[in-house]
Structure 1
Amino acid sequence: MQLSDHISDEELFVLLQKGSHVAYAEIYKRYSRLLYLHAYKKTGERELARDFTQDLFTALWLKREEINIKTLLSAYLYTSLRNRILDYFSRKKLESNYINFLECYEAEKNDLTDHLIRHKQLMEMIAEEISALPSKMRQVFELSRNEHLSHKEIATQLEISEQTVRKQIQNALKIMRPKLSIMLIFYFLS
């Protein structure tokens, strides 16, 4: 069955959602080349642009019944493609940062003794910060972090509500977070 070139995108999308392979092929015919060129401009790599375009059309078919388009089909396709590209580069950057971190970590790992001393000092500073918390808050925090008890178990043991447990832990973290952030900066810079 051949569809008319005059059929609107909205009508094509309705047919696609009903499982029409012909409508899918028409959408592909109308937009695949333009989307590929757009992806190529953004990535500079033919193979990557082809992969993004194919992934987009594969997802369009597989998720056709779930997709709810509130704009033009073309705008939806371009936005989906753009998001895929942004996600890809975001993951690439994260991977690159992680690899750089590991390389730096390996390069700096030469002096194990120094590392162990700094680690021990950091643990002592953290213990001091915990001991400086108000007694009830410290007790709840230590049961949570050191004994790995759930909020419910802590509430039962201390005969307080789970909401109180949750609030005490949040408050402890709120008090400790700024101080620990500074400690961690000095720890990693030294």
Structure 2
Amino acid sequence: MKSDKHKSSDLELLLSLKKGNKTAYAEIYERYWSLLLQHAIGMLQDEDIAQDVVQDIFQMLWEKHPVLNIHTSLSSFLYTAVRYRILDQFKRSKIEDRFLSTLLTEMECAVTSTDDAIAEKEFARKMEYGLSKLPPKMRRVFELSRIHEYSYREISEEMNLSDNTVKRQISNALKIMRESVKKGYLFFCY
């Protein structure tokens, strides 16, 4: 004989839950909370995170109760949901670790000196000056090549020019840009 506390079967509880029955939800919670928590602790080895995971599962269960479509037993569904949530947790942790590692590396390599900032501004000013010295068609060819990273073929198709004209335009633009930027900047060297 079933106790009054657990008088409904899982299937009955699910059907009641789908109708929004809070008592059915409370009984599912009481029946499975500690079992799922132990399962999550075993996988995570961290009780606080395990509690968060199990709480998320029960929150999802209540929020999605009208549209739940469970094709297995309730216990299988809940255990599987916990496992997937933990796997998501592992993935997020790896992504966060990778992001933090990259961020720390970038911070270590970041240009922080005032002299470097001034040099960058001076270089940008020289670049703008050099670009302003180019005739409009040559400037467009140069920008497509060096800023937008188009190939010679793509530039020739875009601007309806021959490949040789594109090469000549870029070569001439590079000479003009080198003069304005001065030597030492290999970015525009071919």
> Which 5+ residue runs of structure 2 have no aligned equivalent?
128-142, 160-190
Same amino acid, percent of matched pairs? 36
Query: Could you say which structure has the larger radius of gyration?
Result: 2
TM-score, length of structure 1 as denominator length: 0.58
Query: Residue 106 of structure 1 corresponds to which residue in structure 2?
Result: 107
Structure 1 residues 160-190: Cα deviation after superposition (integer angstroms, max 9, x where no partner):
xxxxxxxxxxxxxxxxxxxxxxxxxxxxxxx
**Aligned pairs, how many?**
135
Query: Residue 72 of structure 2 corresponds to which residue in structure 1?
Result: 71
Q: How does 1:53-92 map to 2 (within 5 A)?
A: 53-92=54-93
Equivalent residue letter for 1:14: L
Aligned partners of 2:144 and 2:155 also within 8 Å: no
Aligned partners of 1:16 and 1:24 also within 8 Å: yes
Compute the RMSD of aligned alpha carbons: 3.4
Q: How does 1:127-142 map to 2 (within 5 A)?
A: 129-134=149-154, 138=158
TM-score, length of structure 2 as denominator length: 0.58
> Which 5+ residue runs of structure 1 have no aligned equivalent?
140-190
| Bigger shift: residues 8-17 or 83-92 | 83-92
Q: Distance in 2 between matches of 1:79 and 1:138?
A: 54
Q: Distance in 1 between matches of 2:49 and 2:111?
A: 39
Aligned partners of 2:145 and 2:155 also within 8 Å: no
Equivalent residue letter for 1:38: H
Query: Residue 145 of structure 1 corresponds to which residue in structure 2?
Result: none
Structure 1 residues 50-97: Cα deviation after superposition (integer angstroms, max 9, x where no partner):
111112112211211121111111111111111211112211211111
Equivalent residue letter for 1:131: S
Aligned partners of 1:3 and 1:26 also within 8 Å: no
